[in-house]
Chain A
Amino acid sequence: MIEFDRVSRRFGQQDALRNLNLQIDDGEMALLTGHSGAGKSTLLRLLLLLDRPTGGQILVDGQSTQQIQGNAVGHYRRRFGVVFQEHRLLFDRNVRDNIALPLEIAGFSPHDANRRVRAALDKVGLLAKERADPNGLSGGEQQRVAIARAVVARPEFLIADEPTGNLDPALSAEIMTLFEAFNQVGVTVLVATHDLSLIARSRHRLMTLAAGQLMQAGVA
């Protein structure tokens, strides 16, 4: 379970987040929305320990992230699969090697890594592109490779920051379906988006941020 307990993040005189309280249960899928500058990215950065709160605390499975320091940060981040808007694929590696990167970091054996990569590729419908150069893939395919990389190590949490920002509505719906599929097998999913069509078709909890505060929470 992820819990934000009166979390604040202040940059100079500017509050990016103000006394934010929110909770995401294990196995839940939630959407986080809000205008640019509302605090979505700050919230995700705090959750991934790319930044630290100036007030309050974040609890993950009851453990305060403030206690996670040094080498433990890497281990903590491996509990999360992260999908970025701009994919962040490595274009000097093929599809298979991109997806295998988290497994390499986590120290999986090559045999197990191969099995998992193929399973993840199968799940996102790109098994035939295992040895393909990411440069030759479409935007939607690249994003699906990024999703496969995010889930290949079977993380507890899947975090997506504007994952459909560069995709057309049909591809966006396809990506959202993938997230739902992962959620159905127990992965806790948090998607930050301001894609209204995505929000409209979602049946999951919607949290709206404005000026660093949670304005509204409910089913979209």
Chain B
Amino acid sequence: MTQPQKRDQGHWGAWPAWRAQHRAAASNSWQKLVVQPVVTAVTWLVIAISLALPSTLLLTLDNLSAVAGGVDRSPQLSVLLTGDSELPVAEQLQRTLKSWPDIDDVVLLDRELALSQFIQQTELATVVGSLARNPLPHTLIVMPGPALSAAAMTDLGQRVQTLSGVDRVIVDTRWVARLETALQAGWRWVLGLGAVMLMGAVLVLGNTLRLAVEARKDEILVVHLIGGSPAFARRPFLYLGLWYGVGGGMVAALLLMIMTWWLTGPVNTLFLLYESPQTMRVPGALYPMSLTVLGGSLGLLSARLAAGRYVRQLVSLTSS
């Protein structure tokens, strides 16, 4: 042993020392995760579910919003004629309706043409071929004049309904309005659920970290007694929270990919049913990155709250 030193000989500069402390804290915290694989896996999974479920719902709603947004919203009426109405009757009705002052245009959809399109889109030629006759009616698409109110549209629909040969009148914008309203409710529901699930993730993480802090309180006390700052005592737990959060975020990204793959089929079928040309948007790099960053931030926040509070309590207890 040499003479005691009043100066910090052997020290690095402040920056390399700080970096080395962080590297040691990060590495030690990671090792603590590795030696407890079950606890780590369960914590990651809880965080992942809390992040992946709202994310998947958001992704689905995002796709459905695109459907609603891509639809031509100009109000129109679909006039389905009775099954026994022949083409000349349909053409006569088209001319009649075109002459009405509150109607701009009327398009006739020939039922033979509609059937061939249906066969092309659904590949159900064999099934359709087995039918005795074409089940589709002739249809008239009625485009009313501009700035027609909802009440005027309803009135127009009722007047068209009274015409001979008309089986049913459908106001085509209703489903869009319903979808939009459902989507608005869906967004709120998903945001609310997401907030609750994130809060749950913070609480689970906070509790896990509180237990970790509790298990290592001797270390905090010793660090405090031998001159470590509260920041030094907190640091391993911040990294522990970060690893839990980042790991959870990465597992959430993986779950999101799996869910997307699983949902692609039904969602694309839904697009087809709504006559939308698009296919499901698959999450790009942004989603997994956002989930990882969000997970890491949640982990840090939880660790800061749990460890910060405990270290403060301990320091005040041993210093009072």
Q: Do A and B come from one complex?
A: yes
Decide: A49 near B21, CB < 8 A? Known: A106-B8, A107-B12, A187-B4.
no
Let me know if A109 and B4 touch, CB within 8 A: no
Chain A proximity of B7: nearest CB distance (Å): 10
Q: How large is the interface on B (under 10, 10 to 19, 20 to 34, 35 or more residues)?
A: 20 to 34
Q: How far is the CA of A68 from the CA of B20 in the complex (A)?
A: 27
Q: Indicate whether B16 reaches chain A with its CB closer than 8 angstroms.
A: yes
Contacts known (A74-B227, A107-B18); A88 close to B221, Cβ less than 8 A: yes
CB of B315 to closest CB in A, whole Å: 10
Flag if A107 contacts B227 (CB, 8 Å): no
Tally of A interface residues using CB under 8 Å? 39
Q: Does A4 touch B at the CB level, under 8 Å?
A: no
Contact with A along B4-35 (1 / 0, CB 8 A): 11101011101011101100100000000000
| A185-B4 Cα distance, complex, nearest whole Å | 8
Query: Is A92 positioned at the interface, with any CB of B under 8 Å from its CB?
Result: yes
CB of B214 to closest CB in A, whole Å: 13
Contact B227 A106 (CB under 8 A): yes
Interface string of B283-320 (1 = CB under 8 A from A): 00000000000000000000000000000000000111
The yes or no answer to B216 lying at the interface (CB within 8 A) is: yes
Q: Is the CB of A82 within 8 A of B226?
A: yes
CB distance from B317 to the nearest CB of A (A): 10
* Contact B320–A51 (Cβ < 8 Å): yes
A50-B216 Cα distance, complex, nearest whole Å: 20
CA distance A199 to B18 in the complex (A): 43
Q: Which of A12-20, A34-42, A148-156, A207-215 is found at the contact surface with chain B?
A: A148-156
Q: Contact check: which of B1, B12, B319 meets A51 at CB < 8 Å?
A: B319
Binding site for A on B (CB under 8 A): 1-6, 8, 10-12, 14, 16-18, 20-21, 24, 216, 218-219, 221-223, 225-229, 232, 318-320
Given contacts A49-B319, A82-B226, 4 further A-B contacts (CB under 8 A): A71-B229, A88-B221, A106-B8, A108-B10
